[in-house]
Structure 1
Amino acid sequence: MPVQVSVIMPVYNMTGLVGQSIDSILQQSFQDFELIVIDDASEDGTDTVVRSYKGRQILFERNSCNVGNYASRNRGMLLAQGKYIAVMDADDIAMPDRLEKQVAYLEKYSDVLAVGSGCVSLPGGVLREGLSSYREIQLALLNNNCFVHSSLMIRKDTLLKLNGYNERYYYSADYDLVCRLVAVGKVENLTEPLVGYRYHPFQISALHKEKQQLFADEIRQKYQMDFINRYKKENQSLAGRAEVAVPSIGQAIAYYTYAVYSGDIWYEQKADELLDQVVSVLSDAIPARLDCGLLGVTCGMIYMLQNGFIKGNEDEIFEEIDGLLFGKLRFLVDREDFDWYGWLYYLRLRISRRCLLGQGTQEGIFEENLEFLLDCLIGKIEKGQLPDQEVLFEIKRFHQLNTCKEKTAYILGANGKE
C-alpha cells in the first residue's frame, strides 16, 4: 500500500544500536511511512533484534551474503512504496519530528529534489548545522561531502532516475550521489538538527578511511569538472581531468568560473587565496605527476592563463615549476608508476601555447624533453610494453601538430593507430 515516506535502513552487525535507531523512527510524529530494514548478512544476531519488532510499518529483508552498504540501499530503494525516500543509518537516531518537517518542506517547495538537516553528534551532543542554500552546498561539494547522509530525504522518482547509488564507489557512494543530485536540481538543508549522528570505531569512515579517500578523490574530480563546465562562460574552455588533477587547483578554477557567472568578486578573491596557498608550498617534495602533483598544478594554471583568470608571462610564472620538473624527469622515467600521460599532456600544452604566443617550438627545453620521452617510449614498445589509450591519444595530437613526426609515426604505427 502506498505511503508518503519509505525509510531505508541498511544494517550490518549492529545488535547493540539498531534497536535505538528503529525506535526513533517508530516514534515519529509523522506516521505515514514504511521502514525497510535490509540486513546485509549480519553475523551477530542483528536479524533477531529486528524481527522482534512486529508491526505493519516494518519490512525486513536479509541479504544472502554481504554485498555492502550501498547495494543494500539500492535494494531498499527498489522495494520502496513511498513518494519520498528517507535515508537512515542503523547507528543513528532520528529526532521525533524529522519526517514531519522534511515532508512539509518538500511538499512546499516542489523544485527541491532532496533536503538534509543539521545533526547532533553522539556521544557529546555537539551541534553541526547544515549549509542551507543550494549555492552554498554546490560550492562546498567542490571540496568534500557536506551532508550528514542519514539526514537526507530524497524524492523517489529523482533517485530512480539517477539509478540510485553507484556501487562502484564502495565506501563513498553517498558523496557521489549528492554530487549527481545537485547537478540536476536543487538540494537544500534545514539547519536545525533532525538526526543524532553517532561516531564509533566501526563506521565505514573509520574502518576504510584510505579506500574511502581514494574514491572521494575521484568523485571530487568529476564533480569539479562538471561544476566548471556547467557554469563556464561561452568562450571558456572545457575543463578536463588534467585541469582538476590537484583538488585545490580545481577548486580555484571553479571559484574563478563562478565569480564570472555570478558577478560576485568574493569568489575571485577565494580563488586567488587558494592559488597563493598552492604556489607558496611548491617544492621538489611534491611528486612530478598529474594527480596531486606538479604536473597537475601547471596544467591547471595554464587553463587559468588561457581563460584570463590569471595574467602574466608564462615562462616567468612557471620558471620554478619547470626547474623542479625537468630536474626530476630522467630519474623518474624508468619507474613503473611514471605518469606518461601527465608528462605528455603537460609538454603538449607548453609547446602548443609557445607556438600560439609566437615563441617558436624549435630547439627548446620542451622539445628536448619530448624527444627524450618519445625515445624512452619507443624503447618500451620494442620490449613489448604497449602504451595505454590516453598516452596514444597524446601521441596522436603531437603527430597532428607535426611535432617529432617520425617518432610519433613510429609509435602510432607500432600500435596500429596511424
Structure 2
Amino acid sequence: MELSVVTAVYNGKAHLEEAIHSVLNQTFHDFEYIIVNDGSNDQTKEILDGVNDPRVKVIHLEKNKGAANALNTGIHEANGEWIALQDADDVSMKQRLQRQLTYIKSHPEFAAVGSLIQCIPGDEMVDPNFLEMESYFFNAKDPGQFRNEQFYSTPICHGTGLFSKRAFQNVGGYDPAFKIAYDYDLWSRMFGEGEIGRIPEVLYQYRVRTHSLAHTNRIETTCEILLSTFKSIAKVKFDHLNRIPKLLLLGSQKEIAFYKEKISPRNHYLQMLFLEQKLSDMKKAYSLYRFNKIDGIVLASNPQIDRIFRFFVGKGLSFGNQIFKVWIPDDFS
C-alpha cells in the first residue's frame, strides 16, 4: 500500500460526512482511509458505521484521549508508506492527494509537504475579512524560511500534511501531552528527518471555528506552543549534553512574569535563567554563555528583538544554534 489517509474525529457530526466525501472522491483512488473516532458522544459513530467503501477502516476508541493519541492510533494501523492527514471538519480538493504524492516522491529531500489553503466558515457566521486574514496567515509564509522558523512557527496547516510514515515513526509521532499544539510539536521535530515544503496551490479548505480551543483559550495555546518549543530545542539542539540544558531568557518584565507564572511549573525540558533587555544584561548574558554557564539564549520576540539579535550575532552566536526566539504575550490578564 502506497498511501494511507488518516482522520481523527471527536464529536464531528456537523462536517464529518463532507470531509469523508472529499477524500473518497479524489482523482487518486489507490489508498486506504483510516478514521479514528476518539470517544465521541454525538452521532459520529452512526455516521462512520454508515460509510460503505472498502477503502475505509473505522476505529472506535471508547474514551476521548485527544487528537494526538487518536492520530497515533490511526497511523500505527496504517499500511501506507506515505501518510496524508485530513481533519474531520475540513475539505480536500479533488486533486490534492495526487498532487502532493507526486510532489513528495519527486523531492526526496522532503519529509513532509503541505499546500496552500482557503479558509471557510463553520456553522457560525464569520467575518469574510477574518477568513481572508486566517488564509493569509498560512499562505504568506515564505517556504524558504520554514527551517529557520523551526522553533517559532507552524510551517504548514495540519490537515494539509502528507509525510513519510518512516519519518513520523523516527521522530516518535505525536506527543499526547499536547492537546492543542500537537501539530506544531510534530513539525518542529520532523525537520530532523528532512525539509518541510508546500505546494504553491490551494488544495485544502480549512474550516475556521471561532469556538475551537486554539481560538477560545489563547493563554493555554500559547503555553503549549512555548512548551513544545522548549522541548524541541532541548531535544534537537542539546540532546548530546545528556543533561537538562540551561538557557537564559531575555525579555521584558511582563514577558518574564508570564513565563514564571504560566510556563515555569510545566517546563521539564529546560532550566531557565532570566534577564531584562538592557545593554548591561545583554553583556552579562553573553559573558554567561562565553564562560559556559548557560547553553544558549532565548529572545522574546518584541520590538527590541532586532537590536538584541544583532548584538549577539556580532559576538559570533548564530540563530537556531545558540540564539532562539519565542513569542511571549506581555499582557495575560
TM-score (norm 2): 0.70
* Contact 1:132 1:190 (C-alpha < 8 Å) held by counterparts: no
Hey, what's the Cα distance between the residues in 1 that align with 2:254 and 2:221? 28
SS in 2 for 1:184: coil
Letter in 2 for 1:146: P
Counterpart residue number, 1:213: 222
* Contact 2:189 2:236 (C-alpha < 8 Å) held by counterparts: no
Task: Indicate the structure (1 or 2) with the bigger Cα radius of gyration.
Answer: 1
SS in 1 for 2:206: strand
Hey, what's the Cα distance between the residues in 2 that align with 1:286 and 1:42? 39
**1:246-289 CA distance string (max 9 Å, x none):** xxx5xxxxxxxxxxxxxxxxxxxxxxxxxxxx5xxx56896497
Hey, what's the Cα distance between the residues in 2 that align with 1:12 and 1:209? 21
Q: Which runs of 5+ in 1 are unaligned?
A: 231-237, 250-277, 309-418
Letter in 1 for 2:71: R
SS in 2 for 1:242: strand
SS in 1 for 2:35: strand
Hey, what's the Cα distance between the residues in 2 that align with 1:162 and 1:104? 24
Which of 25, 28, 31 pairs up with 1:27?
25
Letter in 1 for 2:66: G
Counterpart residue number, 1:167: 176
Hey, what's the Cα distance between the residues in 2 that align with 1:201 and 1:208? 11
Hey, what's the Cα distance between the residues in 2 that align with 1:6 and 1:284? 46
Counterpart residue number, 2:284: 302
Displacement of 1:142 after TM fit?
A: 3.1
Higher helix share: 1
Hey, what's the Cα distance between the residues in 2 that align with 1:241 and 1:156? 33
Hey, what's the Cα distance between the residues in 1 that align with 2:258 and 2:63? 43
Q: Which runs of 5+ in 2 are unaligned?
A: 122-127, 265-271, 291-333
Instruction: Provide closer, same or farther for how the CA distance between residues 140 and 146 of structure 1 changes in structure 2, counting only shifts above 3 A.
Output: same
Instruction: Provide closer, same or farther for how the CA distance between residues 139 and 30 of structure 1 changes in structure 2, counting only shifts above 3 A.
Output: same
* Contact 1:106 1:112 (C-alpha < 8 Å) held by counterparts: yes
How many residues get paired?
263
Counterpart residue number, 2:166: 157
Counterpart residue number, 1:203: 212
- Tell me whether 1:55 sits opposite 2:53 in the alignment: yes
Hey, what's the Cα distance between the residues in 2 that align with 1:227 and 1:285? 25
Displacement of 1:6 after TM fit?
A: 0.8
Counterpart residue number, 1:343: none
Counterpart residue number, 1:142: 151
* Contact 1:18 1:91 (C-alpha < 8 Å) held by counterparts: yes
Hey, what's the Cα distance between the residues in 2 that align with 1:86 and 1:200? 22
Displacement of 1:242 after TM fit?
A: 2.7
Counterpart residue number, 1:183: 192
Displacement of 1:208 after TM fit?
A: 4.3
Letter in 2 for 1:37: I
* Contact 1:119 1:196 (C-alpha < 8 Å) held by counterparts: yes
Hey, what's the Cα distance between the residues in 2 that align with 1:283 and 1:163? 36
Hey, what's the Cα distance between the residues in 2 that align with 1:60 and 1:297? 53
**1:93-140 CA distance string (max 9 Å, x none):** 11111111110111101121111111111134634326453x511222
SS in 1 for 2:146: helix
CA RMSD of superposed structures (Å): 3.0
Hey, what's the Cα distance between the residues in 2 that align with 1:69 and 1:284? 33
Letter in 1 for 2:150: L
* Contact 2:253 2:276 (C-alpha < 8 Å) held by counterparts: no
Displacement of 1:57 after TM fit?
A: 1.1
SS in 2 for 1:138: coil
Counterpart residue number, 1:121: 119
Larger relative contact order, structure 1 or 2 (CA cutoff 8 Å, min sep 6): 2
Question: % of aligned pairs identical?
Answer: 22
Letter in 2 for 1:204: L
